Chain A
């Protein structure tokens, strides 16, 4: 299709040139111009941009000058928003990386320690002089010298995509310690490229050049000549199970032959169990491996850590609304299940926020500037007046009906928003710490904590906390699916677990709370009180440490146990009540605050649309509800097929009444009768028969010729084939096409 056909407003390119380009596998459409793109676009864009900049401004009539000024401001605004997005997202990304690195750090250290040990073992077993080492054949002394030290890193996660970054990080960690590292993946061990392809990748990683002729002796020479013989050569294969068995076997056999010359240490990522090795490699290869097992952090541990850093501690001040949080949780649990996809969803949410909210660029300043002084000055051409105008037009401001519309009140609003976020985070963290004992997932908890309705309920009825019905409205589907407790929700469960905590854990929990709440004196004081109460009660039992209390309790179970239980129960109750009051008074969801639109993303539909494409359903709906999408008058009024409808739409609607096979002759006749119907009247049932005699159709336009009907039929069949809803006739069934989709 020529671009001009569908885009009447665009400058039509030369027809022959377009046709030529259509048949070229690729072509350069245009090269970058130095002009600003907004100057080139047509008039319709201006109006659109003003709408996005400020809906309120549109109602007033403006002249051309104002439009130009608006356009300038719009582009300033867009650039600032993009800049802010990059700043905010890179902060979130860095935080995520740090969090994941921290979780894996202990394993990384253990791996490095083992690499060192293994290297020492290899290098002390046989010392080679330079000449020996660089000869173009391997040294074989005994079987033991062919052992290849192999680290099996168990990822505890079937979704390999989540661990790619981990192995890169591991490589970087080992490199930073002086090892030579090559990061390979299963793509390098494919049958298609063979062992040669795999060696090429290996050389590329070590030598940083692409060689045409690959010979392992090149590696030995490089290793000796570089005078890097003091450090180990580590080869990381991130997804062992995905590798082609025989290529991996050959690779291992070859390395084991050369291990004395090139002290290679192998690290392989294993998503299942170490037994997987036996499934992939033959026993004669396995005997060359000297394996050691390492275990990475579990996916749930990683997920909690990421959610805590990004959504609770708010490394960037960017927030998500309740509905978005619930959607993201459901997407994670039901659709994809990978942390990578969760992070991607978060990134899309973040980008959508900056794209939709004109004032979102303030978020960058909001995060950095504690006193919000940045707001008071003019920013890159965006006047304070304009900011005020838009800020005070936000629905959250209008609902809360705050006082005067001045910069001071905006700054005040921002400070309150910040405070509110800080308090919310602290309470959620306290809840999470309490809920850890009953294995509450942080994502579940924040979904509940972000619910503004639930918060209003809690505030309106102080006893409502104990009401089971209030929290259950968000959970039923999830509870059913994942065997979560339906009654009371996660917050109640966390509070209940505080009541049931043994004394030792309670003491630990309170100490953690003490650290978390240090910035909020009113909560911190109460936590301190509880701690001192606990110590005082401990003092009464003449014990200084709760651990000792437990020990003594076991020793003198009959007498002391009752005392200690009584002591801790009082503190437990108080701690639970404190937690309840924290939830009630300090855990106000961000959506309840004025100006929250600036920092909080709530457009679930936009996120859903951008994140999850559903071509299988949507394309069928496009065809079956053609008239709704293009909003045409003629096809819309009737319930039955009209000849004015899109041909493929008619054909696909007709196909619905066939079985999995469609007789082309019948289909054509049905289509023809729809095209030809011009004066049929009567009832228009929603069910159609393949037989043209029975068909009831509505009035149409001038009768088309046979050739044109056949042409339209052919094109519609081709179009349905292109979208994959049909399979063309086979030799066995030349008169039938096959339907490939059933139901939307």
Chain B
């Protein structure tokens, strides 16, 4: 009967889709009200209000989370059997997963990857994993002598292939010794590209690694092909809605009612800058300083920025500067406006106080 149910689901889906299209299409009158018609409170106040939203149903949510604790032993069992755990359902699962690993997996080392951030360097993660695994092996003091010569070279100078081979290397302690990798938002912006997924999948298939990941996006499974999903990640799915707020996961998203929802917050900008090179950060600092010292101007002319950056030995050529600028533009940290002389001017679309805060963070 499953097939009939599937058919019905399919029908329901297409019916809903066309109904929605009809509702939103040209046949019915589309609402023309503007977002600016909403009397939006001051951005500062809005941000403060966001930070102080009163949680609802705390008690029920707490008991829901406590209910999941009874599954911890089952999850450990699955990990020990060689599966990866994939948690899904509405609500942030960060707290739940970290609680699980810190109470039920104390016997094993745990490395956490925050996939909700913009940029995660998989090579660095693997190096850290290899170091942790090496320490774990050493502490057991039953290290097979075969491995020793291979790890004389520091892990940071090893290639990803070598690191993967090391993590997959059989050892004397049996299958019950492994490093657990927690990946919050394996479908997050920092890990969404196919290369990262390929490496994560290869990492997950290593015999000494177990992975506990969470997904939030409803279409996350589209990231994986059959090879990755069946042979490498080897997921056991668990539906664990928590209804916990996506506090950290949502930090990079602009508030829809602030600046028309397009400008980044100082916090988000700081996060992006954190992942850039020191030189790029210094170039950005020049832009902020210019904006603060010339509040009435449209922005800093590009030529001006180039010469200043060059003077400070931050860039050696226009090409290098352009690559930094592209990065800024991609993350909407910088916008271009043409001034009265016809020059392209760069400015940071943030309020003065946010700029000051950001400057402080960069200087730290």
Interface residues of A, Cβ cutoff 8 Å to B = 1-11, 21-37, 40-42, 44-45, 48-49, 52, 78, 81-82, 85-86, 89, 159-161, 164, 187, 204, 210, 330, 334, 336, 338, 340-341, 344, 348, 351, 354-355, 476-478, 480-481, 609-613, 615-616, 618-620, 622-623, 626, 629-632, 635, 644-648, 658-661, 663-666, 668, 690, 705-708, 710-715, 717-719, 721-725, 728-729, 734-735, 737, 739-743
One of A334, A481, A629, A714 near B257 (C-beta < 8 A): A714
Determine the distance from Cα of A734 to Cα of B37 in the docked complex, in whole angstroms.
Answer: 13
Closest residue of chain A to B83, judged by CB? A351
Known: A37-B106, A351-B83. A25 touches B99 (CB 8 A): no
Cα(A722)–Cα(B271), bound, Å: 18
Q: Are B219 and A10 in contact (CB under 8 A)?
A: no
Using Cβ atoms and an 8 Å threshold, which residues of chain A touch B282? none
User: Smallest distance from the beta carbon of A608 to chain B beta carbons, Å?
Assistant: 10
> Are the C-beta atoms of A615 and B215 separated by less than 8 Å?
yes
Determine whether B290 belongs to the interface, using a CB cutoff of 8 Å to chain A: no
Q: Check: B78 CB closer than 8 A to any chain A CB.
A: yes
Determine the residue in chain B with the shortest Cβ distance to A40.
B106
* Residue B154 lies at the interface, judged by CB distance under 8 Å to chain A: no
A718 to B257, CA, bound (A): 11
Task: Check A27–B112 contact: CB distance below 8 A.
Answer: yes
- Contact present for B34 and A735 (CB under 8 Å): yes
- Taking A10-B102, A22-B114, A29-B98 as contacts, is the C-beta distance between A663 and B33 under 8 angstroms? yes
Cα(A718)–Cα(B3), bound, Å? 36
Give the distance in Å from the alpha carbon of A658 to the alpha carbon of B30 in the complex.
Answer: 10
Bound together, the chains give a CA A338 to CA B226 distance in angstroms of 9
Q: Does B207 contact A (CB under 8 A)?
A: no
CB distance from B201 to the nearest CB of A (A): 11
Is the CB–CB distance between B35 and A665 below 8 Å? yes
In whole angstroms, what is the CA distance A558 to B157 when docked? 86
Task: Known contacts A44-B69, A630-B60, A666-B31; decide if A161 and B218 are in contact (CB<8 Å).
Answer: no
Binds A, one of B246-254, B309-317, B322-330: B246-254
- Whole-angstrom CA separation of A235 from B262 in the bound complex: 52
Asked if B255 is an interface residue, CB under 8 A from chain A, the answer is: yes
The 6 A-B pairs of least Cβ separation, nearest first, read: A659-B24, A6-B95, A659-B23, A613-B237, A7-B99, A743-B16
Interface string of B32-68 (1 = CB under 8 A from A): 0111011111000110111011101100111011100
- Rounded to whole Å, the gap between the CB of B63 and the closest CB of chain A is 8
In the complex where A5-B95, A708-B53 touch, is A37 in contact with B107 (Cβ < 8 A)? Answer: yes
Verify A41–B104 contact, CB threshold 8 A: yes
Task: Choose one: B24, B34, B102, B198; the contact of A3 (CB below 8 Å).
Answer: B102
Q: Given the complex, which residues of A lie within 8 Å of B274, measured CB to CB?
A: 23
B63-101 with Cβ < 8 A to chain A: 64-66, 69-70, 72-74, 76-78, 80-81, 83, 86, 88-92, 94-96, 98-99, 101
Give bound CA distance, A28 to B113, whole Å.
9
Q: Is the CB of B107 within 8 A of A711?
A: no
Provide the bound-state CA to CA distance between A739 and B218, in Å.
13
CB distance from B353 to the nearest CB of A (A): 18
A1-B245, A629-B241, A723-B217 known; A82 vs B81 contact (CB < 8 Å): yes
11 A-B pairs in the complex with CB atoms less than 8 angstroms apart: A5-B244, A25-B190, A27-B111, A29-B110, A82-B176, A344-B234, A348-B83, A351-B77, A646-B243, A665-B35, A723-B90
* Residue numbers in B under 8 Å from A1 (CB-CB): 92, 94-95, 244-248
Residues from chain B with Cβ under 8 Å of A646 in the complex: 56-57, 243
CB contact under 8 A between A715 and B50, given known A1-B245, A30-B110: yes
Contact B120 A477 (CB under 8 A): no
- Complex CA gap A705/B50 in Å reads 12
Q: Which residues of A contact B20 (CB under 8 A)?
A: 658-660, 739, 742
| Given contacts A338-B226, A613-B239, A712-B53, A10 and B103 within 8 Å (CB-CB) | yes
